Amino acid sequence: MTDRFDLGLKDTSSAGCSCCAVPASAADTAVATAPAVTEEVLVWGMTCAHCVSSVTEELIGIEGVQNVIVDLHAGGASRVTIHSSTPISTSAVQPAVVEAGYTLADSQV
DSSP conformation letters of 92-106: HHHHHHHHHT-EE-S
Distance CA 44, CA 77 (A): 5
| Containing structural domain, residue 93 | 35-104
- 18 within a domain of the structure (yes/no): no
Among 68, 103, 108, 78, CA closest to 90: 108
- 8 within a domain of the structure (yes/no): no
| pLDDT tens track for 6-55 | 656 555 554 544 444 555 554 455 455 555 899 999 999 999 999 999 99
| pLDDT tens track for 60-87 | 999 999 999 999 999 899 999 999 999 9
Confidence at residue 75, expressed as pLDDT on a 0 to 100 scale: 83
Q: Tell me the CATH number at 77.
A: 3.30.70.100
How many structural domains is the chain composed of? 1
- 95 within a domain of the structure (yes/no): yes
Confidence at residue 33, expressed as pLDDT on a 0 to 100 scale: 55
- 97 within a domain of the structure (yes/no): yes
- 10 within a domain of the structure (yes/no): no
Confidence at residue 64, expressed as pLDDT on a 0 to 100 scale: 95
- 5 within a domain of the structure (yes/no): no
Among 64, 37, 50, 38, CA closest to 102: 50
